[in-house]
Amino acid sequence: MSDVQSLKGSVRLFEKAQLHVLGIIEGKDYLGGERIPSERALAETLGIHRMTVRKAIDRLVDQGVLERRGTSGTYIPEPVIKRPIVRRAFSYSISDIVHQCGGTPGSRLLYFEQRIANSRLAERLKVRQGDPLLSIKRLRTINNIPFCIETTFLPEVRVPGLAADDLIHDQSLYVILKERYNIEMVTSMRMISVSPASAQDSERLGLRKYEMALVMRSVSTDTDGKPIEYLISVNHPHRVIFQDENY
């Protein structure tokens, strides 16, 4: 066997090991905080060298998908962010949630632009098709680690003068809505699903290309029951968990 053939075989075995471990992480048998099988056990299961398994695990540890805990083994990290699933959740801004989880919140504005309401957005926000909307996309972090990307749609007529500069320095959109526009959002209808993240969002979140993410879509209303925000939130599947507030 040539050196090139040997190298290709090694790469395939490494990929095989990594895909197997990812299957364990993404499967139903292991939860966040639990220890995965040992390198020796994985090597025996796959019929490959232990060092190849170690290389695959090292890569996943570097990516934050797994974590080593001294000599006790390799574990699936517990979710960093626990997001409440409640209709009245606006005492819980993203920054509040991150603080409650013991981290430091951060935000990076990806874009802020005007767009026209298509039929889907018009239906959700109860506006006319063709009405102007503001579209705001932000990357949210905890301790500088990205955990979700959120895209917000607002009827422009409700927030005259709102600009990108208002959100560049981690300002809370909900605080701005309340203090500047006297808009207080009180309820939210939410739907959570599992969908592949786009190639660009995968890269920003540190996921494999088109890896499955937790996607939350919500329509939020003000005190008069009028829709004010349509939100699409793409969440890292290993860093975020949605749970009932009383769980």
- The CATH number of whichever domain residue 90 belongs to comes to 3.40.1410.10
pLDDT digits (tens, 9 = 90+) for 164-210: 999 987 788 988 999 999 998 887 788 999 999 999 999 999 888 88
Shared domain check, 95 and 71: no
Between 208 and 244, name the one with better pLDDT: 208
Give the pLDDT band (50/70/90) at residue 245: low
Task: Give the residue-averaged pLDDT of 143-155.
Answer: 92
Shared domain check, 63 and 155: no
Q: Which of 43, 75, 107 is the last residue of a domain?
A: 75
Task: Give the residue-averaged pLDDT of 49-55.
Answer: 91
Q: Which long-range contacts (CB under 8 A, 24 or more apart) does 165-170 make?
A: 167/107, 167/109, 167/112, 167/136, 167/138, 168/109, 170/95, 170/105, 170/106, 170/107
pLDDT at 41: 93
Shared domain check, 117 and 51: no
Q: Which of 19, 43, 75 is the last residue of a domain?
A: 75
pLDDT at 231: 95
Shared domain check, 85 and 71: no
Give me the number of domains the chain comprises. 2
CATH of the domain at 16: 1.10.10.10
Mean pLDDT, all residues of the chain: 86
pLDDT at 2: 44
Shared domain check, 137 and 227: yes
Shared domain check, 10 and 70: yes
Shared domain check, 99 and 70: no
pLDDT digits (tens, 9 = 90+) for 56-109: 999 888 877 888 888 888 988 776 788 887 655 555 678 888 888 878 888 999
Shared domain check, 87 and 63: no
Shared domain check, 96 and 47: no
pLDDT at 87: 55
pLDDT at 137: 97
Shared domain check, 204 and 134: yes
pLDDT at 10: 53
pTM of the model: 0.71
Is residue 126 within 8 A of residue 154, CB to CB? The reply is no
β 81-84/240-243 pair status: parallel
- Is the pLDDT score of 247 beyond 80? no
Q: Which of 75, 95, 122 is the last residue of a domain?
A: 75
Shared domain check, 116 and 211: yes
- Is the pLDDT score of 237 beyond 80? yes
Segments forming the whole domain that contains residue 104: 81-243
Shared domain check, 65 and 98: no
pLDDT at 7: 37
